[in-house]
Amino acid sequence: MARGDRRRRGAPADGVRTAEGAARGGPARRDNRVGIARSTVRGAVLAIVALILALSLSGSWLLAWYRARRAVTLHSAPPALPPDSSSPTVAPDFFWGTYRPHVYFGMKTRSPQPLLTGLMWAQQGATPGTPKLRHTCEQGDGVGPYGWEFHDGLSFGRQHIQDGALRLTTEFVKRPGGQHGGDWSWRVTVEPQASGTSALPLVSLFFYVVTDGKEVLVPEVEAKGQLKFISGHTSELGDFRFTLLPPTSPGDTVPKYGSYNVFWSSNPGLPLLTEMVKSRLNRWFQHRSPGASPERYLGLPGSLKWEDRGPSGQGQEQGQFLIQQVTLKAPFSIELVFESGSARAGRNQALGQLAGSLLSQALETHIEAFRERFEKTFRLQEKGLSPGEQALGWAALSGLLGGIGYFYGQGLVLPDMKVEGSEQKVAPALFPPVPLFTAVPSRSFFPRGFLWDEGFHQLVVQRWDPRLTQEALGHWLGLLNADGWIGREQVLGDEARARVPPEFLVQRAAHANPPTLLLPVAHMLEGGDPADLAFLRRAFPRLYAWFSWLHQSQAGPVPLSYRWRGRDPTLPTLLNPKTLPSGLDDYPRASHPSATERHLDLRCWVALGARVLMRLAEQLGEAEAAAELGALAASLGEEKILDELHWAPELGVFADFGNHTKAVQLKPWPPQGLVRVVGRPHPSLQYVDALGYVSIFPLLLRLLDPHSSRLGPLLDVLADSRHLWSPFGLRSLAASSSFYGQRNSEHDPPYWRGAVWLNVNYLALGALHHYGHLEGPHQARAAKLHSELRANVVGNVWQQYQATGFLWEQYSDQDGRGMGCRPFQGWTSLVLLAMAEDY
């Protein structure tokens, strides 16, 4: 009764329909209505479920879309550098520079659409057929040694290049003035390598100018294809003029006879310049020096016809490429003068062109100032180093400064799309166009920006010119995306992209890199320079966002542990899946990658970062950030927690932790080649037995108390020749390790599996110096080891430099020979700070 009342009151219309139904036959109709009602309920439930699923799927899609957008969205924090910091108005002394490290000699402006200049050369008749055209630094082209003898990063440089029987010297000097970056001049000297050579080589030099947009170049030619000068105008440079002066004998003003060819076309694209010139060297010309027999040489078309202009001024929109070929007998010198219209207008006309004796005098003045400033900064002579070792120091610094480049472009980014354990497939996206002002590891092999390398680079640069470091750090922090991520390898612009294998073009937004930019930040804090502190105040929001992303995104499986994302998958061809984000590439980790891993080196980097940024926050008065960072630094600094996570009693050292077995090896397996075979014991959760650089990271980053019970065992393995110690520096992996010297695949030789690396040896020297000056039970031993390790490292780098003329990427722990790519005047330039005992 009550139920019926409720039904009637709740649905009077249904009551009416029920009465009508009873008159037509009663219960049968009611049952049908109940079935319909049930069906309606089921349909509603299904609709709700479908809606929930749709919302869930759309929510997942929206989350994926949101993450993808953030991955390629620039961070909203204020920039660390002032607006237009690269412009000639804000930084005129930095506007022009040798910012094309991948070419043997060239200059450009710090601009998204730069004016570029460069040099090519060829020895005519040295080999049958087309002469070898030299332009870009290549690992295997037979040129070398080469490198900057002097370069101050700002105003001048002198470089020597050995190419077979030839020795080239390239020099430049900048002269400030006007509103557009001032003037500059080049001198290129070509001489036979051996003195007294009877058969003097016939050499062609190619001087070129390239524009990258609608800039105007107007060449004026004299007789026989010789350019009198090139006039031009751009919005950033105003009016300007290039003048190529007649060749002379080296150190003389007497002109030498040269043959001239010229070529003018639209810009084919910077990566194609070399091939375009090669393809145009297709006609034979006669070089007729007075009083000498004529000689044939291959030359460019001898006119100023603008080739490939295309319809409707297409060539103008592409930019222009203008090149002057000068061919003559060595020895000789040629000078190229660039004059800014605004500098010329405001200059005392009595000064004249920066050429001839004025250029020689300017070079000598700069060299003398460089030597004085170098000794005042690094005090190598005061420390008793030989003149040869001091020259090594000059070359280490100059090669690093001469390798600074300016890049502009869009990188490719693969967003982090992992949602609740699944990974949605998504294509890489273009990052916004960004500039990057950075040093490079190697002009021949790695002529682009690498994040963890750059922190080590700037340790050297900051001692020499703090402004350069502020510029470099500011540009790197300008790459921060909305999440706080910076790509570890920056491939920006056509020239950089052309030199990178396709598989390395894409940067993954889930992958980190060691935060080494905080190393020069720590040095800035110690120095207390007001300009540095003003920069750090502007940079702090971005530094904090970057560190926060690292701390959160690389968190490990248990509190206060960390794990590198981005290990290679377990493939049958890999002995040990690599961990490229760590910077240590093939250094052995857990044999079977998993989410259970705990990586010691990453934890140490986070601990160091928390300490550095805590000090910075305190100095800037950022109380909330300082408290948060201080709490994290304190937790990460507790040795008890470090022990619980990473001390391996059975190994007697710190170690990684993960799913691991030592029973892995590569075995021949035709026809696949070498294949990984896993034996017994099967992998299990354990500490990873891979004694090497990772094992001593708490020591390297000075995280241990000088009275720590763990300091002694780390010094033991460091000093043991069965483990890390070698006569040439600390080896990356212990000689006692089963992975020592082992290939990672059939085509992948050992990299961080025994070789001596300067960046980590520099950290070790700094740590030993640190503990050698702190009271504790290991003070005397640390000081002694510092002295011995410094002698080994510096002595071997110096010996190899004497033998080869190069700084190398790594050094053999067996005989000390240089290995890997060369020249490697990135972090190997840290040998200078080791010589100076500046840590």
Q: What is the pLDDT of residues 59-71, one digit of tens each?
A: 677 777 888 999 9
What is the pTM for the complete model shown? 0.91
- From the list 599, 611, 479, the residue with the least C-alpha distance to 545 is 479
Q: What is the dihedral of CA 273, 275, 280, 284, to 10 degrees?
A: 120
Q: Place 44 in a pLDDT band, splitting at 50, 70 and 90.
A: low
Q: Is residue 170 a contact partner of residue 159, using CB atoms and an 8 Å limit?
A: yes
Strand, helix or coil for residue 244: strand
Q: Is residue 111 a contact partner of residue 96, using CB atoms and an 8 Å limit?
A: no
In which element (H, E) is residue 648 found? strand 647-648
Max CA distance (Å), the chain:
132
- Average pLDDT value for residue range 258-281: 94
List, by residue number, the catalytic residues: 585, 809
Cα separation, 26 vs 598, in Å, equals 74
Cα separation, 294 vs 298, in Å, equals 13
pLDDT single digits (tens) 497-511: 999 988 889 999 999
Lowest mean pLDDT among 58-67, 200-209, 279-288, 646-655: 58-67
Domains and CATH numbers, the chain: 103-346 (2.70.98.110)
Q: Place 52 in a pLDDT band, splitting at 50, 70 and 90.
A: low
How much is the CA Rg of the chain, to the nearest whole Å? Answer: 33
First and final C-alpha spacing in the chain? 93
pLDDT single digits (tens) 718-743: 999 999 999 999 999 999 999 999 99
Lowest mean pLDDT among 205-219, 234-248, 358-372, 483-497: 205-219
Q: Is residue 657 a contact partner of residue 597, using CB atoms and an 8 Å limit?
A: yes
The mean pLDDT value of the chain amounts to: 90
Q: Is residue 831 a contact partner of residue 396, using CB atoms and an 8 Å limit?
A: yes
Residue with more model confidence, 318 or 235: 235
Q: How many CB atoms lie within 10 A of CB 226?
A: 16
- Average pLDDT value for residue range 461-478: 98
Strand, helix or coil for residue 391: helix
Percent of the residues in the chain that have a pLDDT greater than 70, as a whole number: 89
Kindly give the pairing relationship between strand 259-266 and strand 306-307.
Answer: parallel
pLDDT at position 317, please? Answer: 63
Identify the bridge partners of residue 171 per DSSP, sorted by sequence position: 158, 187
- Average pLDDT value for residue range 409-421: 79
pLDDT single digits (tens) 610-665: 999 999 999 999 999 999 999 999 999 999 999 999 999 999 999 999 999 999 99
Q: Place 524 in a pLDDT band, splitting at 50, 70 and 90.
A: very high
Q: Place 10 in a pLDDT band, splitting at 50, 70 and 90.
A: very low
Between CA 199 and CA 274, with CA 330 as vertex, the angle to 5 degrees is 115
Quick one: the chain helix, strand, coil %, rounded to 5? 40, 25, 40
Between CA 484 and CA 486, with CA 485 as vertex, the angle to 5 degrees is 125
pLDDT single digits (tens) 155-169: 999 999 999 999 999
- Average pLDDT value for residue range 328-341: 97
DSSP 37: H
Q: Is residue 500 a contact partner of residue 448, using CB atoms and an 8 Å limit?
A: yes
**pLDDT surpassing 70 at residue 314:** no
**pLDDT surpassing 90 at residue 777:** yes
Helices then strands, each counted (H, E), the chain: 22, 34
Q: Where are the alpha helices (DSSP H) in 621-751?
A: 623-636, 639-646, 697-700, 711-719
DSSP per-residue letters across 602-621: HHHHHHHHHHHHHHHHHHHT
